[in-house]
């Protein structure tokens, strides 16, 4: 049981917000593809595969991130009890877990068409360098947004076997959504990160962090309005879109960089926001 607890802590399976934020963009791409394809069987099947893949890849990513950051994690209050930093598991054992999880994720990936498999494999070029970004740039959140929302394009391609301009607009919107919510998340560790020399948008814009989050969310919302421009009116889709925008606005209004617990709660609210955006897209069919 102790080994199971270490594995759960290592992969953050007890904190589903991580893999859900990876999954929701995939569901958006699938929902938009379904609005055109109208194949319910494929939609449900691929939704399950992307959900499973999100859990596996997020778990592998958490372990790899902890391996890379183990020396930094020991110096940060919020992360010093993580299994690798606390010495509860070795790096070698952790790498074995990463390999197993990636192999399982690959078995999920090969259920898709060749184009989607190529897109999935190419995402590794983005995924594995991510933990190093906070050492070299103040924009790791932007890099995360590019990486974390790749599933939108993959999900669309899984059904349509191509990339459309509309799906790229949705992808860009999701990048700025991530840029906003991960800046809120990063506000929890600003003081520790500055001491040990790590970088983030939270630190870069710490004097005007609300303005930066507002700008990020405003760009995300504007791109979403562009994406939905032909469907805005008195309908369910517009109601859910407005709800999503209000969730973003609430985060900006309530955010306080000096209150880590508030920042964490606002960050977690984006799980609900991701679900609302899924409803926004899928309700276009009704």
Per-residue pLDDT, averaged over 162-189, amounts to 95
- When the pLDDT of each residue in the chain is averaged and rounded to a whole number, the result is 92
pLDDT of residue 1: 72
pTM of the model: 0.94
Does residue 229 carry a pLDDT above 70? Answer: yes
pLDDT of residue 286: 59
Quote the percentage of the chain above a pLDDT of 70.
99
Per-residue pLDDT, averaged over 97-103, amounts to 95
Between CA 258 and CA 128 the distance in angstroms is 31
Give the residue with greater pLDDT, 1 vs 106.
106
Name the residue with tokens 């959504």: 177
pLDDT of residue 284: 77
**Residue 239: how many other CB atoms lie within 10 Å:** 14
CB contact at 8 A, 216 and 176: yes
**Residue 234: how many other CB atoms lie within 10 Å:** 6
CA dihedral (52, 55, 60, 61) in degrees, to 10, reads 130
CB contact at 8 A, 284 and 33: no
Between CA 243 and CA 228 the distance in angstroms is 14
Tens digits of residue pLDDT in 192-201 = 778 788 899 9
Instruction: Check residue 228 and report its DSSP letter.
Output: T
**Residue 192: how many other CB atoms lie within 10 Å:** 16
Q: Indicate the pLDDT class of residue 223, thresholds 50, 70 and 90.
A: very high
pLDDT of residue 141: 95
Tens digits of residue pLDDT in 14-26 = 999 999 999 999 9
Instruction: Check residue 113 and report its DSSP letter.
Output: -
Does residue 76 carry a pLDDT above 80? Answer: no
Does residue 143 carry a pLDDT above 70? Answer: yes
Quote the percentage of the chain above a pLDDT of 90.
73
Between CA 157 and CA 200 the distance in angstroms is 32
Between CA 163 and CA 154 the distance in angstroms is 9
3-state helix, strand, coil in the chain (%, to 5): 80, 0, 20
Between CA 56 and CA 46 the distance in angstroms is 15
């Amino acid at each position: 049981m102790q080994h199971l607890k270490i594995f759960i802590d290592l992969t953050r399976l007890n904190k589903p917000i991580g893999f859900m934020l990876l999954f929701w963009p995939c569901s958006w791409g699938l929902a938009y593809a379904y609005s055109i394809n109208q194949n319910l069987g494929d939609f449900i099947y691929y939704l399950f595969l992307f959900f499973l893949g999100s859990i596996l890849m997020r778990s592998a990513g958490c372990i790899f991130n902890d391996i890379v950051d183990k020396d930094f994690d020991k110096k940060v209050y919020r992360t010093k009890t993580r299994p690798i930093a606390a010495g509860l598991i070795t790096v070698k054992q952790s790498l074995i877990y990463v390999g197993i999880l990636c192999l399982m994720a690959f078995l999920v990936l090969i259920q898709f068409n060749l184009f989607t498999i190529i897109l999935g494999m190419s995402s590794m070029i983005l995924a594995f360098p991510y933990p190093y970004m906070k050492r070299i740039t103040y924009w790791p959140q932007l890099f995360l947004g590019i990486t974390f929302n790749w599933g939108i394009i993959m999900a669309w391609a899984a059904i349509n076997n191509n990339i459309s301009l509309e799906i790229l607009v949705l992808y860009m919107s999701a990048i700025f959504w991530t840029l906003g919510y991960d800046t809120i998340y990063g506000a929890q560790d600003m003081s520790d990160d500055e001491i040990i020399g790590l970088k983030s948008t939270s630190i870069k814009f710490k004097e005007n962090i609300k303005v930066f989050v507002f700008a990020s969310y405003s760009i995300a919302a504007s791109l979403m309005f562009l994406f939905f421009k032909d469907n805005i009116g008195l309908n369910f889709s517009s109601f859910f879109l407005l709800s999503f925008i209000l969730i973003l606005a609430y985060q900006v209004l309530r955010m306080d960089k000096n209150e880590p617990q508030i920042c964490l709660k606002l960050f977690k609210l984006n799980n609900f926001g991701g679900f609302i955006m899924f409803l926004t897209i899928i309700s276009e069919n009704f």
